[in-house]
């Protein structure tokens, strides 16, 4: 089977912004996209969210893959770590939440097809806070966003992939279609604890409570 490698470099932010630090990868890829642009339009920066197998085609088409994510690599909460080569197994072996399809499933599927990216790197964050439904990043996670962007930049430049800094008046293309998901609007528009359950969907919580009685 011939595999088309028409994406020299693919950058993905993985995670679910509804669960605090689980959205770290998404917020980092947004910040990266706001600051940098590829010099080659065939390269791709994307919000991978929790798309799971929907990312399979792009991963198979990529020669180099950089991923920003929140992952449990058994480090100190708030730690940022760059994973490469064998270290990537630490990341693919973990699953932060039930909303995620394991990226290891995608990479194994790509390997079976003979289309796994030649180079893979992960900039991972050990979460501080996860169980805050509708919450934004913890202070520790926010404090690591710029460092994660710098790490990503160094990785991509190390691959000899062209990047440029966006000009001050340049509008970066949005990675999310809904403006309300922008981190500033997302935080300012959050309902109070009385109006919105912090531990998940209140309808489901009530169902579980009744079932336990």
Question: Which segments are annotated as binding site?
Answer: 22, 69, 99
The dihedrals phi and psi of 122, each to the nearest 5 degrees, come to -130, 130
Count of Cβ atoms closer than 10 Å to residue 208 Cβ: 9
Tell me the sheet residues that pair with 66. Answer: 11, 121
CA 74 to CA 127: how far, in whole Å? 10
Residue stretches of the annotated binding site for Ni(2+): 22, 69, 99
Residues 178, 107 contacting (CB under 8 angstroms) = no
Residue 49's region, left for phi above 0, alpha for psi from -120 to 50, else beta, is left
């Amino acid at each position: 089977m011939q595999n088309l490698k028409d994406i020299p470099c693919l950058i993905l932010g993985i995670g679910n912004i509804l669960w605090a630090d689980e959205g770290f990868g998404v917020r980092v890829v947004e910040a990266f996209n706001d600051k940098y642009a590829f010099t080659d339009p065939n390269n791709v920066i994307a919000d991978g969210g929790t798309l799971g197998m929907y990312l399979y085609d792009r991963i198979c088409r990529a020669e180099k893959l950089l991923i920003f994510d929140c992952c449990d690599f058994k480090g100190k909460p708030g730690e940022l770590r760059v994973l490469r080569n064998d270290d990537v197994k630490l990341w693919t072996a973990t699953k932060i939440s039930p909303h995620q399809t394991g990226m290891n499933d995608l990479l194994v599927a790509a390997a079976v097809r003979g289309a796994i990216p030649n180079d893979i790197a992960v900039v991972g964050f050990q979460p501080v806070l996860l169980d805050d439904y509708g919450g934004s990043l913890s202070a520790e996670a926010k404090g690591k966003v710029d460092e994660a962007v710098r790490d990503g930049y160094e990785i991509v430049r190390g691959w000899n992939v062209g990047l440029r800094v966006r000009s001050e008046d340049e509008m970066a293309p949005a990675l999310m279609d809904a403006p309300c998901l922008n981190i500033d609007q997302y935080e300012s528009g959050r309902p109070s604890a009385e109006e919105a359950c912090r531990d998940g969907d209140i309808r489901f919580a009530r169902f579980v409570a009744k079932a336990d009685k």
